Amino acid sequence: MIDLYSGLMRCVDCGLRVVQRLRPDEVDGLERRQLPLRHCEFCLALTYWELIEWKGKPPVSRRTDRPPDRILLIDDDELTVKMLRKVLEGENCDLEVASDGREGLQKLMEQRYALVVCDLHMPNLDGKKLFKFLDDHALESRHLLLFITGDTTPETRQFLEGTGCAYLHKPLPLLRFASIVRDMIEARHAGEGAD
């Protein structure tokens, strides 16, 4: 299991203080005086964060040479793609983008991803049909989905809850989004380590 550590962090640009969970590579970076780059809700941008104090027991020094995680973002909205690209690249992720479900499905058949962030409403093949295809064919990718949508209708909520997938409503709370992405990726790595 990969350890995650919590620390009280301060944005070096605006001074905002937030308790954040840190990955092992970020802990190692802090030991080398390299500040983590994360999204600041106040600055509305990627900023550097400094550690004020550890919450709980400080971590034992450990190095990780894990390569960046590959994430697929399936969304037809250019503004959303631009915003999430900044957040995900700040989380040590390699991002690939598909503009609709059909292109996303093709990429899923050709590559393995640590996580798939998928909008619900898109041209050609929407998120619901994409999930149905993955589920009908019992493809592993269906467990990697994080849905994002501006649709808050009861039908959509019922669909989302029925999938068992994580989901967030737009406008996206970016700190929450980044936290869910980290948690899902770390859970996946922990599961792979247990095999």
Model pLDDT, residue 63: 41
The letter for the amino acid at 146 is L
- Say what the pTM is: 0.67
Integer Cα distance of 187 and 185 in angstroms: 5
Secondary structure (DSSP) of 68-83: PEEEEEE-S-HHHHHH
Model pLDDT, residue 87: 84
DSSP state of 195: -
pLDDT block averages, 10 residues each, the chain of length 195: 71 91 78 83 90 71 65 94 85 88 94 94 93 88 91 95 93 84 82 62
Model pLDDT, residue 175: 77
Gyration radius of the chain's alpha carbons: 17
Integer Cα distance of 58 and 129 in angstroms: 45
Integer Cα distance of 50 and 29 in angstroms: 11
Model pLDDT, residue 1: 36
Query: Which residue ranges form the domains of the chain, and what is each CATH number?
Result: 5-55 (no CATH), 69-194 (3.40.50.2300)
Model pLDDT, residue 58: 59
